[in-house]
Structure 1
Amino acid sequence: MPTTDPFHALVLMNAVFASAAWCLARPSWPAATSLSVASILWLFFNTPIEGAVLYVVDADTGVTESDFITVAGLVLAAVTIARVRRGQRGSSPTM
């Protein structure tokens, strides 16, 4: 796993939260893409502020509390995509 200092991990966590707020406020493809990318990056760069290990996979790997931010972000991105697609399907062009 890449190592980083806590400052950069917190900046990335704030990027996840800002993208999530964007998805909730104005659902769009760019918002969902931003949230997906930030959430996946968070999974790899959250090392300094991971929290407690909830499930141990092996001696060096496990599921931590902060890994659930990635899951929540990807679920919210999927919901945003569904909302955008439903909105596109529901609006018909008027002539």
Structure 2
Amino acid sequence: MPTTDPFHALVLMNAVFASAAWCLAKPSWPAAASLSVASVLWLFFNAPIEGAVLYVVDADRGLTESDFITLAGLILAAVTVVRVRRSDVD
């Protein structure tokens, strides 16, 4: 897993939150795409600020608190896609 310093991890976390705010404020395809990309990147680059391990897979891997940011981002991106598709139909 790639390692980064805490500064870059915090910048990426802010990118996830900014993309989520964009999805909530003005749903669009670019907003959903940026949130999806930022959320998946967060999963790989959150090592410096992961938080507590909730479920241990093996000695090197497990599910941490910050992994749920990825899940929440992908769910919000999916909801944004549904909202955009509904508005295109109307």
CA distance in 2, matches of 1:62, 1:89: 42
Identical positions, percent: 84
- The answer to whether structure 1 residue 32 and structure 2 residue 5 are counterparts is no
After superposition, the C-alpha distances for 1:39-59 in whole angstroms (9 at most, x for unaligned) are: 000000000000000000111
Compute the displacement of 1:62 (Å). Answer: 0.1
Structure 2 gap ranges (5+): none
1:57 partner letter = V
CA distance in 2, matches of 1:47, 1:33: 23
Root mean square deviation of aligned Cα: 0.3
> TM-score normalized by structure 2?
0.99
1:67 partner letter = D
Compute the displacement of 1:16 (Å). Answer: 0.1
After superposition, the C-alpha distances for 1:3-35 in whole angstroms (9 at most, x for unaligned) are: 000000000000000000000000000000000
The equivalences for 1:1-95 within 5 A come to: 1-90=1-90
Compute the displacement of 1:80 (Å). Answer: 0.1
Length, aligned pairs only? 90
CA distance in 1, matches of 2:35, 2:45: 15
> TM-score normalized by structure 1?
0.94
